[in-house]
Amino acid sequence: MDRPQVLIPPAANILGTIGTGCLCVQIIPQIWHNWRRKSTEGLPGTMLILWSICGVPFGVYAIVQNFNFALKFQPQAFAGLTLIAWGQTLYYHNKWRAWTATIATIALAGSFALMEMILILTLRTPYSRGVKWPMMLMAISASVIQAVGLIPPYFELAKRNGRVIGIDFWFLTIDYAGAFFSLMAIVAQQWFDALGAGLYIACLALETGIFVSQAIWLWRIRHIRREAKKAGMTYDQYVAKHPSKKLPRSDSQETVVDVEACHESNAPDAYNEKPNTILTNNTDTTAQTCSATSNAVVRQEEAVSKPLVAVLKLSGSS
């Protein structure tokens, strides 16, 4: 377990301030992007709420470990802004009422702040006496929660052949820069804090995967994008006009954000027919069977009666 910092070098303060500035500002383009589109499609609320929760244990760890002020302030600001974006997913995608989504966001922010304050006051004294495992648990849980929060976007990527939709790239780029400078601030401190650095390393690794996925998708559709540009259209407009050009997708159209909003899948399900529909289908089938049977009986009766009529006519004439 790493010791608390005693002296903060100027380089650590500068790098930490840059990193905190990036991480605090980076969510603002995403919030604006959501508001401008009036949609949060492709942006998993699970990722945002887990990032907000992550701010609680990491804020406790940064304060008790006496990081530089910028890194102490960073978890609180980041958690607050991601909660705002999470509230947008409630309103735009989950179709909550505006006041309900607002109250839920504010209530959650207040509970997180209270929880962090209680943990700091509770764990600081035992830590100063040499009980280190609670602080180690704080650091590890923060890293794990943040890493888990970055997994839902990969499900979205899988549904869209690796294309990034709903996540603003300014948001992702600034977040990446914030994690990098924050990691460098930890490196520049009096001694390196491996547990604190683990959170930023996990963030950098998983966000690199998102960048790589988008780059691969752009490479795969380079010819289609070239044709769309010649036609004076965007990629989406071009494939809407020429569906055969679109990359094949998975049969299932249900994504993580659909599951969060409890939306039903659009794919047809042979086992989910309504009872009325089944009853109507059975009634129609029975009626058709009865009609066919009666027609067959009539035809048979006609076939039998014709020879008898002919015999009677012959006997009458004789």
pLDDT tens figures, 85-122:
999 999 998 899 999 999 999 999 999 999 999 999 99
State how far the alpha carbon of 196 is from the alpha carbons of 3, 13, 177, 208, in Å. 11, 16, 17, 19
State the pLDDT at residue 41: 80
Q: What is the mean pLDDT of residues 219-248?
A: 82
**Residues 248 and 152: beta-carbon distance below 8 Å:** no
Q: What is the mean pLDDT of residues 263-271?
A: 44
Structure tokens at 173: 């780029």
- Give me the amino acid identity at 132: K
State the pLDDT at residue 4: 66
Q: Roughly how many angstroms between the first and final C-alpha of the chain, as a whole number?
A: 124
Tens digits of residue pLDDT in 127-185: 888 888 888 899 899 889 988 888 888 888 888 888 888 777 887 888 899 999 999 99
Q: What is the mean pLDDT of residues 220-227?
A: 87
State the pLDDT at residue 293: 55
Output the CA torsion 140→141→143→144 (10° steps).
110
The closest of 137, 200, 141 to 1, measured between CA atoms, is 137
